[in-house]
Chains A and B, each alone.
Chain A
Amino acid sequence: MESSFSTITIVHWVAVVIYVLATIFNVAGLIFRKERATGISYLLVGAGLLVHGIGILWWWKIVGHGPYIGRFEVLSSQAWMGLFLFMVFAHFLPKIRSASILVFPAAFLMIAIGIFFEPQVKMLPPTLRSVWLVLHVTFYKISVCTLLVALAFSIFYILRKRTSLEWLARLPDMETMDTLAFRFAGFSFTFWAIAMLAGSIWAYESWGRFWGWDPIETWSLITWVAFGIYLHLRRFFGLKGEAAAYLYILCFLLSVLSLFFTPLIGSSVHSEYFK
């Protein structure tokens, strides 16, 4: 078992190195307008996803359940899912490709943080053995990917407005970036809602309570409402541009708090994961 742990850790480090290289090529490609470097970065991400995916599947086989409980497996699978979905989105929506500047490093940072928490085998408790849990977790992971894309364009918007960095001129125009942030925040809102729906059905099946107001549920709802306010302000109050970008960043921070920090500070039915 110990040797499997260290091999899986090594596989993850290899993936981190590949993703770091991909990030370097990607940033260089965008800043110095080198199409070839950008192309190499995508190839590297593809290779990284393969290596990383093997590591996750191997881990899955050892622990006998999907990546739902331990910090290591949650963060690692989050990174994989985020990158994979980003590549799919970027294929169909080429305008979002520049968000890779933020998505690629976010992915390798998540894996690295996961590795520092050390892989630990946790058996799946009976309450977590449900198809609704799989949907619940999957949709939060999808949501994180769209959150990152919206964050990238919100940050790009502010940077372009506040600085005169030359490479920013190569990104989509201001209005497009603003619209992309808005739309991807809408995607996140939808995926987050689906994740909460799956979670509430799962909770009802397990405990007879669709909503338990435990800290994680509460913060998840607060985050969803915050995104609802953001979208409402944009849709009906004409909020846009820099103010919208700052509000989005605030909502994003709230989502990070909900997903990654509340499991550490409060005791809840969700404490099975991340502690």
Chain B
Amino acid sequence: MLKRFFLSRKTVITLILLMLGAILLGYSFPQRFLTPPPELDTWQLANPTLAKLSRGLALDHVYTSPWFAVLLALFLVSLCFSTWEQFRIALRKSREGISEGESFETPISAAELAAGLRSLGYLKLGGRDGADRFVRHPWGYWGNFLLHLGIVVSIASSLLILLCEKRAVIDLLEGEVHQPGAEWIKEERGLLAGKLILPEAVRLDRVVPEYYDNDNMRQLTTDFSFVDAAGRATPFSMHINKSVRHKGMRIFQGKSHGRAFFVKFTGRDGQEHGEVFSLDQPVDRNTASYKDFVLTWLPSELKTKYYGDAERRSLDGNNPLFVMRLMEDGKVAAELPLKVGETGRLGDYSAQLVKVERWGGLIFIDTTGMAGIFLGFFIVCLGGSLSYFCPPRECSLSPAGSGCRLVWRATRFERLYRDEFDELRSLARLPATTDEQKA
């Protein structure tokens, strides 16, 4: 009953359409893991009803929502039944003899015709009731099964990842240490996964960006170390497309990096405030990178920007220009451009750019099932190739009078393989069917 339900065409098509609908929902609603928080807030403020719906139905994280996991699981069950069915069909087709198809009789002996069949790529696969069975591309029987199996493996693996994956991102300054259990700037967890806790502390040693002359990025390299409880450091180096493995965890180069500006503010009352402003790397030497900050001790909003090089000679110079703007009622109340070591006045404060350091992002992933995804995909590709490139062509040879009788059929796309039947006829020294029709 259950099997019949999951194998029914209506169920299969409904599940495929529901999956398609879920993907479209994920595309239409801003997803938390894809959208920056301020952008998400803006969207929620602009669309209060949709935002309510989104929160209520977890449409802001479709792919990690429980209902999507249930849908995926149902889809998987249906596919498992289909795969089993396809396995049985493939096995039956591989074993059973050919009962119908086009045929001809020829005075040529079965042995001679069999040799001709072998020369055309037909393999002898047993026989029944005195007839020998030949098949060209017998592995093609398994195409559909493999296609289904591959999807099962992929979905099962992605379900495993969905449930168990731990993924976290940190941005660190050069020399800064992230202790095990400390907060991440961004974390994604599978439905059954706990918090990602590093086995050891991690320290960012160096960030090395390289650029082409036109300011496009050439490479981004990060040197970092895992530091154990005794203070022993194990150094690693990674760059984009070269990750690192350590104690069951994979570490990837983060996408973001930039400069951190250490500024010392001194008020008229002599009170000092030290602040670090981390900004993303600008996209080119003539474009600034911007970021706004709210400081608890500063009544005004602070807007900042920086250029990679004060003289705009490169994107990543030794002399970056950092600019701060105090905003009051949407207007610029004060502005201060600073280079390293310079001091100036910003409103009621004296500000000094003490030093500039680099910061970089690291991505930590603890996951199982990734190999299953790729294996599944590979099986899908293999199944698709066998299904559409190698449809089996079956032939049976049985003695008839002093010669033999040949029955032939293509299991799929028969219309496209008519020529092969004619080829067999010519092997038996008979005219092609088309010639026969003409005659």
| A residues apposed to B, CB below 8 Å | 93, 95, 121-123, 125-127, 129-130, 175-176, 179-180, 182-183, 186-187, 189-190, 193-194, 196-197, 200-201, 204-215, 218-219, 221-222, 225-226, 228-229, 232, 235-237
| Pick from A190, A213, A222, A229: contact of B385, CB under 8 Å | A190
What distance in Å separates the Cβ of B314 from its nearest Cβ neighbour in chain A? 15
State whether A190 touches B381 (Cβ < 8 A): yes
* Interface of chain A, main secondary structure: helix
Inside 8 A of B12's CB, which chain A residues have their CB?
232
| Pick from B26, B220, B415: contact of A213, CB under 8 Å | B26
Alpha-carbon separation in the docked complex, A214 to B214 (Å)? 27
CB-contacts of B380-401 with A (<8 A): 380-381, 384-385, 387-389
Alpha-carbon separation in the docked complex, A91 to B20 (Å)? 38
Please judge, given known A-B contacts A200-B373, A208-B167, A236-B9, whether A213 and B384 are in contact too, CB under 8 Å. Answer: no
| Pick from A180, A208, A225: contact of B250, CB under 8 Å | A208
State whether A210 touches B370 (Cβ < 8 A): yes
Residue among A130, A179, A190, A197 with the most chain B CB within 10 A? A190
Instruction: Judge if B332 is at the interface, Cβ distance under 8 Å.
Output: no
State whether A207 touches B384 (Cβ < 8 A): no
Alpha-carbon separation in the docked complex, A186 to B387 (Å)? 8
| Pick from B216, B365, B388: contact of A190, CB under 8 Å | B388
State whether A213 touches B31 (Cβ < 8 A): yes
State whether A187 touches B216 (Cβ < 8 A): no
State whether A126 touches B385 (Cβ < 8 A): no
Question: What residue in chain B is nearest A125 (Cβ atoms)?
Answer: B217
Instruction: Judge if B255 is at the interface, Cβ distance under 8 Å.
Output: yes
Instruction: Judge if B219 is at the interface, Cβ distance under 8 Å.
Output: yes
Q: Known contacts A186-B387, A213-B34; can you find 14 more A-B pairs with CB under 8 A?
A: A123-B214, A180-B416, A186-B384, A193-B380, A197-B374, A197-B381, A200-B374, A205-B243, A207-B255, A207-B363, A208-B167, A213-B63, A222-B20, A237-B9
State whether A218 touches B27 (Cβ < 8 A): yes
Inside 8 A of B380's CB, which chain A residues have their CB?
193, 197
State whether A214 touches B34 (Cβ < 8 A): yes
| Pick from B365, B373, B413: contact of A182, CB under 8 Å | B413
Instruction: Judge if B45 is at the interface, Cβ distance under 8 Å.
Output: no
Alpha-carbon separation in the docked complex, A3 to B241 (Å)? 35
Question: What residue in chain B is nearest A127 (Cβ atoms)?
Answer: B240
Question: What residue in chain A is nearest B12 (Cβ atoms)?
Answer: A232
Report 17 cross-chain contacts, Cβ distance below 8 Å, ordered by A residue. A122-B216, A179-B415, A196-B377, A197-B377, A205-B243, A206-B240, A206-B252, A207-B255, A210-B370, A210-B373, A213-B31, A226-B20, A228-B16, A229-B13, A232-B12, A232-B13, A232-B16
Alpha-carbon separation in the docked complex, A208 to B239 (Å)? 12
Alpha-carbon separation in the docked complex, A210 to B416 (Å)? 38
| Pick from B167, B220, B413: contact of A126, CB under 8 Å | B220
Alpha-carbon separation in the docked complex, A235 to B13 (Å)? 13
Inside 8 A of B144's CB, which chain A residues have their CB?
235
State whether A222 touches B363 (Cβ < 8 A): no
Please judge, given known A-B contacts A193-B381, A207-B255, A213-B63, whether A186 and B388 are in contact too, CB under 8 Å. Answer: yes
State whether A126 touches B217 (Cβ < 8 A): yes
The 7 closest A-B pairs by CB, nearest first: A190-B384, A186-B388, A208-B252, A197-B377, A123-B216, A126-B240, A123-B212
Please judge, given known A-B contacts A175-B415, A179-B415, A229-B13, whether A127 and B384 are in contact too, CB under 8 Å. Answer: no
Inside 8 A of B214's CB, which chain A residues have their CB?
121, 123
Question: What residue in chain B is nearest A269 (Cβ atoms)?
Answer: B255
| Pick from A121, A183, A194, A204: contact of B381, CB under 8 Å | A194
State whether B241 touches A179 (Cβ < 8 A): no
State whether B241 touches A197 (Cβ < 8 A): no
Residue among A197, A236, A237 with the most chain B CB within 10 A? A197
Inside 8 A of A210's CB, which chain B residues have their CB?
370, 373-374
Instruction: Judge if B233 is at the interface, Cβ distance under 8 Å.
Output: no
Inside 8 A of B252's CB, which chain A residues have their CB?
206-208
Alpha-carbon separation in the docked complex, A197 to B380 (Å)? 9
Instruction: Judge if B24 is at the interface, Cβ distance under 8 Å.
Output: yes
Alpha-carbon separation in the docked complex, A221 to B154 (Å)? 14
Instruction: Judge if B70 is at the interface, Cβ distance under 8 Å.
Output: no
Alpha-carbon separation in the docked complex, A202 to B83 (Å)? 28
CB-contacts of B129-147 with A (<8 A): 144
Instruction: Judge if B58 is at the interface, Cβ distance under 8 Å.
Output: no
State whether B241 touches A176 (Cβ < 8 A): no
| Pick from B9, B20, B385, B413: contact of A179, CB under 8 Å | B413
Inside 8 A of A213's CB, which chain B residues have their CB?
26-27, 31, 33-34, 63
Question: What residue in chain A is nearest B218 (Cβ atoms)?
Answer: A126
Alpha-carbon separation in the docked complex, A190 to B34 (Å)? 29
Question: What residue in chain A is nearest B219 (Cβ atoms)?
Answer: A126
Instruction: Judge if B23 is at the interface, Cβ distance under 8 Å.
Output: yes
What distance in Å separates the Cβ of A89 from its nearest Cβ neighbour in chain B? 12
State whether A225 touches B16 (Cβ < 8 A): yes
Alpha-carbon separation in the docked complex, A187 to B221 (Å)? 40
Alpha-carbon separation in the docked complex, A61 to B106 (Å)? 61
What distance in Å separates the Cβ of A191 from its nearest Cβ neighbour in chain B? 8
Inside 8 A of A219's CB, which chain B residues have their CB?
27
CB-contacts of B268-316 with A (<8 A): none
State whether B241 touches A130 (Cβ < 8 A): yes
User: B209-251 vs A: 1/0 string, CB under 8 Å?
Assistant: 0001010111110000000000000000001110100000010
Inside 8 A of B384's CB, which chain A residues have their CB?
186, 189-190, 193
Question: What residue in chain B is nearest A95 (Cβ atoms)?
Answer: B416
Alpha-carbon separation in the docked complex, A219 to B24 (Å)? 9
Residue among A205, A213, A219, A232 with the most chain B CB within 10 A? A213
What distance in Å separates the Cβ of B76 from its nearest Cβ neighbour in chain A? 15
Inside 8 A of B413's CB, which chain A residues have their CB?
179, 182-183
Question: What residue in chain B is nearest A221 (Cβ atoms)?
Answer: B23
CB-contacts of B391-439 with A (<8 A): 413, 415-416
Alpha-carbon separation in the docked complex, A236 to B380 (Å)? 18
Inside 8 A of A196's CB, which chain B residues have their CB?
377
CB-contacts of B166-198 with A (<8 A): 167
Alpha-carbon separation in the docked complex, A207 to B250 (Å)? 11
Alpha-carbon separation in the docked complex, A219 to B243 (Å)? 28
State whether B381 touches A129 (Cβ < 8 A): no
State whether A127 touches B241 (Cβ < 8 A): yes
What distance in Å separates the Cβ of A65 from its nearest Cβ neighbour in chain B? 11
What distance in Å separates the Cβ of A181 from its nearest Cβ neighbour in chain B? 11
